[in-house]
Copies of this chain bind each other. A is one copy, B any other.
Amino acid sequence: MNKSLPQDSVGLVSPQLIHFDEELALRSGKVLQGFDLMVETYGKLNADKSNAVLICHALSGDHHAAGYHSEEDSKPGWWESCIGPGKPIDTDRFFVVSLNNLGGCAGSTGPISENPQTGTFYGPDFPVVTVRDWVKSQVMLMDKLGIQQWAAVVGGSLGGMQVLRWAISYPERLHHAVCIAAAPKLSAQNIAFNEVARHSIISDPNFHDGRYLEHQTSPKQGLMLARMVGHITYLSDNAMRSKFGKTVGDFEASGSNFGRDLRSGKLSFGFNVDFQVESYLHYQGERFSENFDANTYLLMTKALDYFDPSVDFDGDLSKAFANSSCKFMLVSFSTDWRFPPERSRELVNDLLKAGREVTYVEIEADEGHDAFLLPIPRYMNAFSAYMNRVFRENCSNAT
């Protein structure tokens, strides 16, 4: 049955919807009366439930982190590079839990779900959720799964922020925190890019104050623009130069042409797409705008902006980790200008100041922020080595 799927994949997987009857009091003061989480699991939970690993997703991610939903699927889950048999998060050893966060648009309760109070879509009435709220819902999920402690909580980017929140708010519920390509809070520049994305969505005439589903439409242009801006920030200048500067056209160059490949070999002298990079951005933006919910995009960017665990500790992040008891692995990538290595180093310093044990790896990679999704050898080796240690130290029936 799996013969057409890669051997190092978890293969065919099925998501499951888990319902929670309990109330969830959110940071905003609002309360969700029950909710659903869409979840996938890979690997087997061992007898003493010591081998569970939680995956936290980033802005546009979801529960489908690894494997395929059908043999016809052209693409696997978003973190196939890191989750599977023999991979860093080795599904022959770990029981991996991956969920779509609240406010998402891939099955968990969010803006496209029915609002029980109105009988129609939540839309813009879905409350603003924070990283803290997500982690709270993830605790409820682990309780429902009967897991007392995660061997590790793992995430990249916005997922890495959830990892930090776990270590701060639920120190007794995890052994290891693996925080990749993240930062302890956004800078003004990061927030500015998010605001451009939000404004492009909100100012799209098809947004209808967020009630576009009732209007049977979608702010596609706004969402496309938001994704185009985002995409530029996920790639490095270097990555773009090599991605769009391979062939030669009108701009034949002896050395690098700085990613200036032309789409049709000559300039249009109009406002059409001239360069390959423009064409690529359009494609990425269009594809995304067909598959993602605009209200969810707004929610995810606000969660990013709001995250700053130092707020409760007079701005001193090291104090936030005073009660953490897990061990930490941090990874950053040299050309990630969205969350540059400098931000991870600050975090390392604060963790050390708090007396925590930290393993920090800075990976040389041209791929920018997106590097965390890619099977870069040094990254895979370091990640695997750390997860081996997680297994050895914490999974009591380890062989």
Contacts and interface: CB of A to CB of B under 8 A. Distances in A.
Contact of A251 (B277, B315, B337): B315
Copies in the complex: 2
A305 interface: yes
A260 B314 contact: no
A105 B302 CA distance: 37
Interface stretch (A66-74, A157-165, A188-196, A384-392): A188-196
A243 interface: yes
Nearest to A221: B203
B298 A271 contact: yes
A258 interface: yes
Contacts of A252: 311, 314-315
A327 interface: no
29 contacts: A28-B269, A30-B269, A186-B260, A187-B260, A188-B237, A188-B240, A188-B245, A188-B259, A188-B275, A189-B241, A191-B260, A192-B232, A192-B277, A193-B232, A195-B228, A196-B228, A196-B232, A196-B281, A199-B224, A199-B225, A199-B282, A203-B221, A250-B311, A252-B315, A253-B315, A254-B314, A255-B315, A274-B302, A274-B306
Given A191-B278, A196-B228, A251-B308, 15 more contacts: A124-B271, A127-B269, A128-B270, A185-B258, A187-B237, A188-B240, A188-B244, A188-B260, A188-B275, A189-B240, A191-B275, A192-B277, A253-B310, A255-B315, A271-B302
Interface of A: 27-30, 124, 127-128, 185-189, 191-193, 195-196, 198-200, 202-203, 205, 221, 224-225, 228-229, 232, 235, 237, 240-241, 243-245, 250-255, 257-260, 267, 269-271, 273-275, 277-278, 281-282, 298, 302, 305-306, 308, 310-311, 314-316, 337
